[in-house]
A and B are shown apart, each in its own frame.
Chain A
Amino acid sequence: MQICCIALYHRDGNRRHELKFQPGKFNVVTGVSDTGKSAVLEIVDYCLGSGTHGVYRGPQLETIGWYGLQLIIGGERIFVARRRPPIGQKTSDHAMLIRGGVLPAPSKMYQTTNIATVVSELEKLIGIDENLQEPPEGSTRDPVTAGLRHAVPYVLQPQRLIADPKYLFDGQEDNFKEQHIRDTLPFFLGAVDQDSLAQRRDLRTRRLELRKAQAALADSEHADSAVIARASLLLDEAAKTGLINSDTDTAVADVRAILREAIDSEPPEEGSTLTGDAEKIAALQDRKNELGDTIREVRAEKRILMHRAQLAADVATEFEERASRLTSLDLLPNDDAVDEACPLCGSDSSPRSPAAHQLRKELDVVRAQTASAVYSEPGLEEVIDVYEQRIQAFVDQLETVDSELQVLVARDKAAAHARTRLEQQAYLRGRIEGFLQEHPPIDASEGDGLRRQVKLAEKRVDTLEKLLSADATRERTENALSYVGADMTKMAQRLALSYAAEGVRLDPVALTVVGRDPSGPIWLNQDIGSGKNWVGYHVITLLALHRYFIDNKRPVPAMLLLDQPTQAFFPSTKRDDPNRALGDMRDEDQEQVRRIFDLLRETVSSLHGGLQVIVMDHAEFEDEWFEDAVGQNNWRGGRGLVPNDWYA
């Protein structure tokens, strides 16, 4: 990506002003005014998606409505534009992107997209594809995806930065931004290349495979022990039900063989007593019930008879007593007396007491009654006896049947028990058969196979992890930076920068230049040396990086914008003088400045259009190359970023 021109659109929608640059060449913008020049970097940053509009204000800039940037990326012209924020706003999202690069007419500036989309499109065009920078293990940082914004620090060197010893890159004073630079430098150097995403996916897959293989191995080992346990249980049952000898050694390793033998053995013959008893028993039970019923009936009849006999007996008893009491007459000494008069009072009027003979008559009657009462139930006693005998006979029969029944039942129980046992054995056989089928012995070779798979998966994971490890990245980063450092050293020695005699390099963690002096390494950010030195180091570092990016086709915008690199070389009294000129410098400083510009020119030309450098500076050189470099961009004589008539 390089800049063809910057297009400024007047707020009024009528006017457009262009600042033309030459891609792939060394460009200089020279001129009087300080504002304006620095605004160029701000405008480029803004059009490439910076979060805020630049700090530069001023009447000139307030006339601008839209900032446009015509870029050339991979041979194609792309126009991007972003609206200047309206008054009161810090930024604006409104943007445009036109492929083909024709500059739109001033009246045609309106939002067609937003800046985030523009950035995304530019990323695609440059070739910053998906990438994910994973922080080193143990770090608490989230992985960072390198984007266009992370490449901007290699592009812009604002005025306040270019002579700063502490910070090498734009935005480094912000901790988060510095961290992002640190995290994304390896990517831009190609130490983490585009393939890592695919490799990471691959690693995830391999890790999954490894886990699966490990699980399968564990399962098979576990399953085997569980299976053995179940087999032992079955063996116990087989011993209990008599399927195998109970003294068989079940602790022997091959339980399966024992089980197989158990079910292959012949089942025993069924006993002949096993059938038929049930019917007999049933028949006897019925007979028993019959007899019971019969006995009950006969007993009931006997009871009736006995009741009748008892009644008769009672009646007989009563009659006997009557007879007996009547015989009291015989107790009386004189039974022939005739009652005529009361012996007490001699009167005759009381009713006649019975005479003795009347009592005797009474007795005879009673006696007759008694006799007949006894004989009115002829043979009752005999009948009762017969019943008794019958009952007894039935009871005897019942006892016989009962004892027969008991014998049969006992035999039947034994048979049932034997039957149950056979059933149990048969059932157990079935279970053992099923078990043996379900759990064929695990081949030793199968276990080996699983183990091999695990090893293979482990190896694959290992390889990928090595490829992707942060260590590998660090190594490759260091490797890349060694080239960068070699380049830096050459340039530093050419510029006769201090501490460069024994080599300088870029420290990717400290994000600063490291040189050497007799006492050891010197870090630029230790504030050693002078501003002139630091400018040199900024320049050579960025040039070396860009050379590396370009040689290795890295997706970094191939442009470098330097803002006021010579300022540090002016005497301090002249530094802010808008009219300062090269002649104001000391000779050796002039020399140094020339060297820097020469270096810039030569680097650009050695890259054959691969790099565009744009220098915004006050210094003017008489040389021809300088005029070529400036082109139209001489802002002396009142010209500036914005045409005078825009704000006059």
Chain B
Amino acid sequence: MKDWPNRPSEHRTLFNPAFLAVLIADIAAGYEDESKQPLPYVLPFLSVPIVIHEPTRESLPTIATSMYAWLDRRPQARVEIPLLAPQFVESIREAIRFGALHDALKFGAGGSIVPLDLSKPRRGSQTPELRRCRDRARFTGRWLGRAGDPGTILVAWGLRV
């Protein structure tokens, strides 16, 4: 990962650490809602790509649909996400630190992630696309929360830790 001034503009803007941190906090919040547990440390590396990859994001089902059933129906997800995820590992790690630094989240037991309250923004309104991403992030968190243990989930998505 390059130093900030040397990164490509997409990474500096579309995938800036503040944005990713916010998403991670939203995912953790959804996960905790569903499973009453903090988000395991590894899951942001799966779930953030899901949210920022627009085709995958927009094809997410309702909460009632089992993740495994959905994956069976939509096998391209198991190809696209494993290709995308490695490119964001560094960014996500950085985003977690950034989030922790700026009190978007904190660490729980075993390095799991606990969301902090982001309901009071300090200024401006969010664009519709931003809002959509945050909403899907929350959903993804819940969806993962119902899907069982992290190892099984990762394998189901074709990811290796």
Contacts and interface: CB of A to CB of B under 8 A. Distances in A.
Given A328-B22, A333-B116, A354 B17 contact: yes
Contact of B101 (A330, A334, A350, A366): A334
A343 to B, nearest CB: 4
B16 A324 contact: no
Interface string B50-81: 00000000000000000000000000000000
B19 A326 contact: yes
Interface stretch (B28-36, B124-132, B150-158): B124-132
Nearest to A325: B19
Contact of B13 (A326, A338, A351, A353): A326
B127 A324 contact: yes
B102 A332 contact: yes
B97 A329 contact: no
Given A343-B100, A344-B100, A344-B111, A330 B122 contact: yes
Nearest to B106: A343
Which of B1, B101, B122, B126: most chain A Cβ within 10 A? B101
Interface residues of A, number: 32
A320 interface: yes
B4 A324 contact: no
Interface string A587-631: 000000000000000000000000000000000000000000000
Contact of A330 (B1, B94, B99, B124): B124
Given A327-B126, A342-B97, A356 B3 contact: no
Interface string B1-27: 111100001001111111101100000
Contacts of A353: 4, 17, 94, 97-98, 101
Contacts of B12: 362
A198 interface: no
A325 B3 contact: no
Q: Which of A320, A321, A359 has the most CB of B within 10 A?
A: A359
Contact of B122 (A335, A344, A350): A335
Contact of A320 (B1, B102, B127): B127
B14 A334 contact: no
B160 interface: no
Interface in B100-122: 100-104, 107, 111, 116-118, 120-122
Given A344-B97, A353-B97, A359-B18, A332 B118 contact: yes
Contacts of A356: 18, 102
Contact of B16 (A328, A330, A333, A342): A328
> Which 9 A-B pairs have CB atoms at the shortest separation, nearest pair first?
A322-B13, A332-B102, A328-B19, A324-B127, A329-B18, A328-B18, A337-B101, A354-B4, A325-B19
Given A324-B126, A354-B17, A366-B13, 15 more contacts: A321-B127, A321-B129, A324-B130, A328-B16, A330-B121, A331-B22, A331-B104, A332-B103, A332-B104, A333-B103, A333-B118, A335-B122, A339-B101, A342-B97, A359-B18
12 contacts: A324-B129, A328-B16, A328-B21, A328-B130, A332-B22, A333-B118, A334-B101, A338-B101, A351-B1, A353-B97, A354-B17, A356-B18
